[in-house]
Amino acid sequence: MERSELLEAMLDSLPDGVVIQGPEGVPVCWNRAAEAISGYAAIDLLGRPVPESLDSFLGEEAAAEAALGHGHKTHMRLRHKQGHEVPLLGTYLILRDGLGGRIGSAVLFHPARSLDALPHGDTGDDSSVAASQQELEDRLTQKFEDFINGGEPLGVLWIAVDQAHDLRKTHGAAACETMLAKIQHVIAQGLRPAEEMGRWGADEYLVIAHERSGDLLSGHARKLAGLARTTDFRWWGDRVQLTVSVGACQARLGETDTLAALLKQAQKSLQISMQAGGNTITPPAGGKICLPS
């Protein structure tokens, strides 16, 4: 069997929809799950310009989303061939050659239960991370309900460790997990007594904070990022300089009326920090705070 046939068979066996586009934005792969979710057959789309009905899903807007949130799950809308909208949860990826040149893009997606589903970091199929997510989600739900009912202020800090991905590739999973455990311990030392922190993704953490304003939340984020930056982590004698990217969001009545909206804003802020090259905080008021190296 030809390698291309094996690849096609593998993609068709996946439960998630997979769409791959070439450098001109023309679909070159549309697997069976994508057919089932969208109603469009591959034969109608491959090698042809994207239909107008799919433009917001695969067109220029989607390309901009990919550039901002590469590799992160996000909410999407797809217009089914029969005309109704399908809420999706998926990931945009930029595909590059060995020299870093862009050669296309890919979208991996599956139906979302609703657009109010909470955005999470990718667990990497780690059951302990998934358990942490569920525990934090339960606490967040309770804290947000308290806030809506006049309780204490609520903010979230979505934190990604900038070096985790590369460390996992160069030194292995054990080194990365050791580093993540250490940086979590260090950051936890800087939390207020009522704050909570846990894994929100394979390389990400979420802090539930109760600062009274966005400015105070940003200042708190700077302090925690400084603790991460001064963490002394060594692996087999090699010292690894650690930094974090942070997306901060403060709950405000009339602006973040659902917990999903609060987390989506924090996720978007995190993506801006990561797009800036890491070691950056994006505060609730917008803009970026680049931290000293």
Q: Which of 1-10, 109-118, 145-154 has the lowest mean pLDDT?
A: 109-118
Q: Return the structure tokens found at 213.
A: 């304003």
The per-residue pLDDT for 194 is 93
**Burial status of residue 68 (CB atoms within 10 A of its CB: 0-12, 13-18, 19 or more):** middle
Please report, for residues 48, 211, 226, 228, 242, the alpha-carbon distance to residue 62 in angstroms, rounded to integers and kept in the order given. Answer: 17, 35, 34, 33, 32
The per-residue pLDDT for 115 is 45
Q: For the residues of 20-69, what is the DSSP string, one character each?
A: EE-TTS-EEEE-HHHHHHHS--HHHHTTSPPPGGGHHHHSHHHHHHHHHH
Q: What band does 203 get if pLDDT is binned at 50, 70 and 90?
A: very high
The per-residue pLDDT for 67 is 53
The per-residue pLDDT for 70 is 53
* Top-level class of domain 3-111: alpha beta
17: CB partners within 8 A, 6+ apart: 31, 33, 34, 36, 37, 38, 88, 90, 107, 108, 109, 110
Average per-residue pLDDT in the chain?
86
The per-residue pLDDT for 76 is 76
Over residues 214-242, the mean pLDDT reads: 91
Statement: 127-290 belongs to CATH 3.30.70.270: yes
> For residue range 22-78, what is the model confidence (pLDDT) as tens digits?
888 889 999 999 999 999 999 989 988 888 888 777 766 665 555 555 556 676 778
The per-residue pLDDT for 113 is 57
Determine contact, residues 147/288, Cβ cutoff 8 Å: no
> For residue range 93-149, what is the model confidence (pLDDT) as tens digits?
888 888 888 898 888 988 865 445 688 888 777 888 888 888 898 899 899 989 988
Q: What pTM, to 2 d.p., does this model score?
A: 0.64
Largest CA distance in the chain: 64
Over residues 249-270, the mean pLDDT reads: 88
The per-residue pLDDT for 63 is 59
126-159 burial, b at 16+ Cβ within 10 Å, e below that, comes to: beebeebbeebbeebeebbeebeeeeebbbbbbb
> For residue range 261-273, what is the model confidence (pLDDT) as tens digits?
899 999 999 999 9
Q: Which of 15-19, 129-133, 142-146, 205-209 has the lowest mean pLDDT?
A: 129-133
Which residues of the chain form CATH 3.30.450.20?
A: 3-111
Which residues of the chain form CATH 3.30.70.270?
A: 127-290
